Amino acid sequence: MTDQWNMLLSIGLGIGLAAACGLRVFLPLFIASLLAHFDLGDVGLRTGFGWLAEWPAMIALGVATVAELLAYYIPLVDHALDAVAVPLSTMAGTVVAMSSFVDLPPMLAWGLALIAGGGVAGLISAGTAATRLASTVKTGGLGNPVVATAETGGAIALSVIAWFLPFVALVLVLALVVVVVRWLLARKRRMP
């Protein structure tokens, strides 16, 4: 039973972190890097992903995180980032999910990382891009910093919750996916 419990914990962690990558590409990776480096929590990294907890990765991810966070507060740059964020967040979600799937066999881990990790990250990223576009249309871009702040706060919260409470993160991700899918479908129906 312990092996199955650990497997479920690693799945919850991986999918939670991947979903957070849909909100901010580098921030969840940076948080996972810090928490793994300082060995906080009851989870770890999959064999072969120890590099994520080493200083060079932490520094690179920290710099990338700061650059990404600041860029979302610059008008027009935020929209340019949205153009590349969906594929980048899909890749980041796949990597961070795979790094977390400690107790899964390799084929299952990669399949789940690609489909659930990358898929959830890409879906949420598409939802955030659509939200920013709607904010730009309705507020002339003045509401975009509020959207950016909410996304950053969500990425931080979801990353930390995923690390320490993976099952709670999994429930939050499922709820978030339902909200995003409904919102995107409603937008699609309203388009001419």
List CB contacts of 36: < 8 A, sequence separation 6 or more: 44, 45, 52, 53
Provide the pLDDT for residue 98.
Answer: 96
Query: What residue segments make up the domains of the chain, in order of their start?
Result: 2-190
d(CA 57, CA 20): 18
Residue 1's identity, in one-letter code, is M
Cα separation values, 74 from 106, 146, 174, Å = 41, 12, 31
The whole-model pTM stands at: 0.92
Q: What is the residue-averaged pLDDT of the chain? A: 92
Q: So what's the pLDDT on residue 40?
A: 83
**Is residue 18 within 8 Å of residue 101, measured between CB atoms?**
no
Q: Quote the CA–CA distance of 18 and 122 in Å, as a whole number.
A: 9
pLDDT at 121: 97
Give 1's pLDDT tier (boundaries 50, 70, 90).
low
The 10s digit of each residue's pLDDT in 120-168 is 999 999 999 989 988 999 999 899 999 999 999 999 999 999 999 999 9
pLDDT, mean of residues 41-69:
92
